[in-house]
Structure 1
């Protein structure tokens, strides 16, 4: 597929793949988590460890990205990844049901299935982003990133609503059936969405990869030797660590410090997601409109979003001191809004940097950054919760414990902004040579 050749319909089709991924993931992480804790009475650490495991195994994303680089096609990896995810999702539901009868056997099966869930998400997600990076024009990347991620949120929401209706009255058999139907529907949607989208594969690229395919070690060394790729990997890890640290502590904070009910704290998550949506739309639309005239706009959105996220988290820390009159809902919306701005800008920048490296390098770089994101997500949520407990165990009050963690998150976001300032924007990759060397050397330019 020629760089920049994918139109809005094609971008929407790839967004449907993200929706399919989200529809399965919400069942395997949220629904099974609730069933294990509530219906089976297990400690929350059990599903927490399984979800952490599915993030951890995604450290292998560079391997899957390299595989699609060498093969020259992304769609087989996308379809195969979704198929594996759907199959593993059903297996995880069966494992959960088995835990009620034999916990040890059910747990072993669950560990196996959550490893496969991580493999499926990593294989499909890495190749999907690689395909977007090589086929979407520079001007459309911010809007494309927004559309694709909003489609994932849409898939999560639709799957949660529809599956929720069919899960009642609840039984383990019904859980397995709903998971299976969701997986089949997601796989069929993926097959239709990507069908023929790579029909115009480059003959030059195929020739280059067949003559002298680089090994994984060579490709990884090449990526890590690139100062921009290395710096962006560090940025992704640091920013995503800060982004995810509040995942498990926001609702308990609302309940313990502000005295909110479970329904009210659930509403906080809705307000935050509303902010994320608004921030994504602003960054996506603004980035697409201004990208051609201001090549550094994505960098400015990324840095600004990180700094504003840090400010919002600093305000959250301050709210723990004076909860009585604090506009918590507005604060949470600002946090989500800031997160949405930086997330879309960072994803669009990721596509630009990967695309500029040349087609034979895109998958591995996307895998490298995807691995950094997955590991940071796995560590962030866990670290936030553990730090609150440790600070409380050291004798601090509940408000002080939560406020300290929010302040730490804000400082990490500030550090991420500092790293982002050092990343050179990409003006756009309009042409690529046989192995991508010409694009790699010609498109990474300073935009100051």
Structure 2
């Protein structure tokens, strides 16, 4: 193979982009959410709508990826996306502060900010994954995806922990200052990560118009998506992704308000609690990577087993979290949230590994459409999960006049979704994807191990 491919150091450098991205996202989706609900006493539906908006904008990911294809370089789109994300996060913090004196004007500014945030995440994230796929050897792509995803979680953990300490004693002025600092630091980190990396990587092979991969050989988009949807495994996996991510995202926007409302935690304490959860997510991902990777040679379980087990464990912990509000004084909240993070992390990285294992399972040269289908299912689920979770809390608090019972019912509902997702994951096993048969099916474990051949 001609040209220089990305080694492990280059992969880690690109992972720093995900670290920077995660640092900004955790601040906008967790801390700003809690401040709107608890400190400003606004309806929980408001941050749910804002975060849902930022996911809705990411439906444009295919168009943003196409733009980088036309230009032939991914770095400008990564840098531009991170700049938009940083500016959007800074504007969002200003909008929250403005809500305290001019609610309508602050909300309008927040709508603009979260729209920009969604566009930034879509542009940077999509181009980063394309760059990894193009410049990393096939045998390293599985471990590379795990490394990059875990580095994003590291961004969650570090930011939640450091920002949590800096936010106390809390004030809106301090919130804006911390948000500006995080946004600036994240953008500089992303710049350092991508500087010169694309120029040193192997160039993409040139294709003639007569090659099978040229646009002329491909059917129209509507026909391609129809073909992929007609593949039983791809379709069932898309449904699994939607349901599981709906449950996964439904807890994000209500956990910190729950800790503040029911357990009486301060903004700094609840932000640090978010750091505890993401530390658990990091550990759960690491466990799956070690258990299913080359070193374990699959002896400690397949991706299917970890996906199903992670869903069941997540549901079980959510049921205990629903009960915790009724015994506040004696309940180990931090330990519960950490365990939830471990279960979520195991499920999430196993599901990501499953996507990578199944993306070639079906009609040839539809890998991008297939991954796009699952990515769209994930984005829609994330947007709906945050919105429906916060809306359910608001409606139940109004109907029951009891915050503890309202949060308990929502957590229990999310647990049921996780149990349903576990059943859907089992249905994916043994179903052939389409014309190409099934590599994962042939291995007899449901899915290929992370980093497996």
What residue in structure 1 maps to residue 249 of structure 2?
Answer: 244
User: In the TM superposition, what is the alpha-carbon distance from 1:56 to its structure 2 partner?
Assistant: 1.7
What residue in structure 1 maps to residue 202 of structure 2?
Answer: 199
User: In the TM superposition, what is the alpha-carbon distance from 1:416 to its structure 2 partner?
Assistant: 0.7
Contact 1:15 1:149 in 2 (8 A): yes
User: More deviation in 185-194 or 144-153?
Assistant: 185-194
Matched, 1:273 2:278: yes
What residue in structure 2 maps to residue 297 of structure 1?
Answer: 302
User: In the TM superposition, what is the alpha-carbon distance from 1:415 to its structure 2 partner?
Assistant: 0.8
Unaligned stretches of 5+ in structure 2?
445-453
Within a 5 Å distance, the mapping from 1:12-91 to structure 2 comes to 12-26=12-26, 28-29=28-29, 46-65=46-65, 74-75=74-75, 77-89=77-89
User: In the superposition, relative to structure 1, how do residues 384 and 293 fare at CA in structure 2: closer, same or farther (>3 Å)?
Assistant: closer
SS of alignment partner, residue 269 of structure 1: helix
Within a 5 Å distance, the mapping from 1:11-410 to structure 2 comes to 11-26=11-26, 28-29=28-29, 46-65=46-65, 74-75=74-75, 77-89=77-89, 92=92, 107-133=107-133, 140=140, 143-157=143-157, 161=162, 170=173, 178=181, 181-182=184-185, 184-192=187-195, 194-196=197-199, 198-204=201-207, 207=211, 208-254=213-259, 259-262=263-266, 265-289=270-294, 293=298, 297-320=302-325, 326-354=331-359, 361-395=366-400, 398-410=403-415
Contact 1:79 1:190 in 2 (8 A): no
Contact 1:354 1:366 in 2 (8 A): yes
User: In the TM superposition, what is the alpha-carbon distance from 1:105 to its structure 2 partner?
Assistant: 6.2
Unaligned stretches of 5+ in structure 1?
427-436
Contact 1:242 1:412 in 2 (8 A): yes
SS of alignment partner, residue 441 of structure 2: coil
User: In the TM superposition, what is the alpha-carbon distance from 1:417 to its structure 2 partner?
Assistant: 0.9
User: In the TM superposition, what is the alpha-carbon distance from 1:341 to its structure 2 partner?
Assistant: 0.5
Contact 1:302 1:341 in 2 (8 A): yes
Query: Following the alignment from structure 1 to structure 2, what is the Cα–Cα distance between the partners of residues 246 and 315?
Result: 14
Contact 2:92 2:113 in 1 (8 A): yes
User: More deviation in 191-200 or 339-348?
Assistant: 191-200
User: In the superposition, relative to structure 1, how do residues 119 and 346 fare at CA in structure 2: closer, same or farther (>3 Å)?
Assistant: same
Deviation string for 1:346-389 (max 9, x for gaps)?
11222232355699544443333233222222222332233234
What residue in structure 2 maps to residue 432 of structure 1?
Answer: none
User: In the TM superposition, what is the alpha-carbon distance from 1:286 to its structure 2 partner?
Assistant: 1.6
User: In the TM superposition, what is the alpha-carbon distance from 1:28 to its structure 2 partner?
Assistant: 4.6
Query: Following the alignment from structure 2 to structure 1, what is the Cα–Cα distance between the partners of residues 394 and 176?
Result: 37
Contact 1:61 1:368 in 2 (8 A): no
User: In the TM superposition, what is the alpha-carbon distance from 1:270 to its structure 2 partner?
Assistant: 3.5
User: Aligned pairs, how many?
Assistant: 434
Query: Following the alignment from structure 1 to structure 2, what is the Cα–Cα distance between the partners of residues 102 and 399?
Result: 30
User: In the TM superposition, what is the alpha-carbon distance from 1:59 to its structure 2 partner?
Assistant: 2.4
User: In the superposition, relative to structure 1, how do residues 184 and 395 fare at CA in structure 2: closer, same or farther (>3 Å)?
Assistant: closer
User: In the superposition, relative to structure 1, how do residues 247 and 107 fare at CA in structure 2: closer, same or farther (>3 Å)?
Assistant: closer
SS of alignment partner, residue 200 of structure 1: coil
Q: CA RMSD in A?
A: 4.4
Query: Following the alignment from structure 1 to structure 2, what is the Cα–Cα distance between the partners of residues 92 and 155?
Result: 19
Q: Return the TM-score normalized by structure 1.
A: 0.77
Q: Which residue among 428, 441, 445 is the counterpart of 1:445?
A: 441
User: In the superposition, relative to structure 1, how do residues 394 and 169 fare at CA in structure 2: closer, same or farther (>3 Å)?
Assistant: closer
Query: Following the alignment from structure 2 to structure 1, what is the Cα–Cα distance between the partners of residues 423 and 389?
Result: 22
What residue in structure 1 maps to residue 9 of structure 2?
Answer: 9
Query: Following the alignment from structure 1 to structure 2, what is the Cα–Cα distance between the partners of residues 366 and 197?
Result: 27
User: More deviation in 366-375 or 271-280?
Assistant: 366-375
User: In the TM superposition, what is the alpha-carbon distance from 1:218 to its structure 2 partner?
Assistant: 3.4
User: More deviation in 271-280 or 61-70?
Assistant: 61-70
User: In the TM superposition, what is the alpha-carbon distance from 1:343 to its structure 2 partner?
Assistant: 0.8
User: In the superposition, relative to structure 1, how do residues 356 and 21 fare at CA in structure 2: closer, same or farther (>3 Å)?
Assistant: farther
